[in-house]
Amino acid sequence: MTKPLLGFIFLCVTACVSQAPVNSQTEASPTQSSIVKRFTLVAQHTTLTIDEGVIHKGFTFNGTSPAPLLLVNEGDNVEITVKNIDTVTHGLSIHAANTQTALKVANLPAGDTKTLTFKADVPGVYMYHCAPGGHGIMTHTMGGMFGMMVVEPKKKFALEEELGRVPDIKVYLAQHETYSNGRDFFDGKPLYVSFNGYNFRYVNEPIVARPGDYIRFYYLNVGPNLTSTFHAVGGIWNYSYPQGNPANKMMGGQSVLTGPSDSFVIDWQVPAAGPFLFVSHALGTQAAKGAVGIISAKDNAQRPSVISSVGLTLPLPTQPKRIVDPFGIGSPDIDRAVHFHAGDPVYVQMVGNSFSPKIVEIPVGTNVTWVNEDVFDVLEGERSGKHSIAVTQGAEIFASPVLLHADKFNVTLSKPGTYEYICPLHPYMKGRIKVY
Residues 269-298 that bind a copy of itself (CB under 8 A): 271-277, 281-285, 287-290, 292, 297
Which residue, 294 or 310, is less far from a copy of itself as judged by CB? 294
Which residue, 102 or 395, is less far from a copy of itself as judged by CB? 102
Question: Which has the closest alpha carbon to 168: 294, 20, 307, 264?
Answer: 307
- Determine if 185 is a binding residue for a copy of itself (CB under 8 A): yes
Residues 107-136 that bind a copy of itself (CB under 8 A): 107, 122-124, 126-127, 131, 133-135
Q: Cβ(269)–Cβ(213) under 8 Å?
A: yes
- Which backbone phi and psi does 295 adopt, to 5 degrees? -95, 125
Closest distance between a copy of itself and the C-beta of residue 164, in Å? 20
Residues 62-81 that bind a copy of itself (CB under 8 A): none
Q: Report the Cα 288 to chain-centroid distance in Å.
A: 17
Closest distance between a copy of itself and the C-beta of residue 239, in Å? 10
Interface with a copy of itself (CB under 8 A), residue from 197, 352, 357, 431:
352
Closest distance between a copy of itself and the C-beta of residue 433, in Å? 15
Which residue, 86 or 374, is less far from a copy of itself as judged by CB? 374
105, 109, 114, 118: CA torsion to nearest 10: 10
Interface with a copy of itself (CB under 8 A), residue from 46, 49, 65, 243:
243
Which residue, 160 or 407, is less far from a copy of itself as judged by CB? 407
- Which backbone phi and psi does 12 adopt, to 5 degrees? -130, 155
- Other C-beta atoms within 10 Å of 302: how many? 9
Q: Cβ(17)–Cβ(299) under 8 Å?
A: no
Reported as type and span, the H/E element at residue 355 is strand 354-356
- Determine if 398 is a binding residue for a copy of itself (CB under 8 A): no
Which residue, 51 or 152, is less far from a copy of itself as judged by CB? 51
Q: Single out the segment in contact with a copy of itself by CB under 8 A; choices: 25-33, 157-165, 373-381, 393-401.
A: 373-381
- Determine if 255 is a binding residue for a copy of itself (CB under 8 A): yes
Cα(56)–Cα(1) distance, rounded to whole angstroms? Answer: 16
- Determine if 7 is a binding residue for a copy of itself (CB under 8 A): yes
Closest distance between a copy of itself and the C-beta of residue 256, in Å? 8
Three-class secondary structure assignment of 245-258: CCCCCEECCCCEEE
Closest distance between a copy of itself and the C-beta of residue 25, in Å? 28
Q: Which residues of 232-246 are buried (b: 16+ CB within 10 A; e: fewer)?
A: beebebbbbbbbbbb
| Annotated binding-site residue? 339 | no
CB under 8 Å to 164, separation ≥6 — which residues? Answer: none
- Determine if 144 is a binding residue for a copy of itself (CB under 8 A): no
In order of 81, 253, 381, the CA distances from 222 in angstroms are 22, 22, 25
Residues 82-111 that bind a copy of itself (CB under 8 A): 93, 95-103, 106-107
Which residue, 34 or 300, is less far from a copy of itself as judged by CB? 300
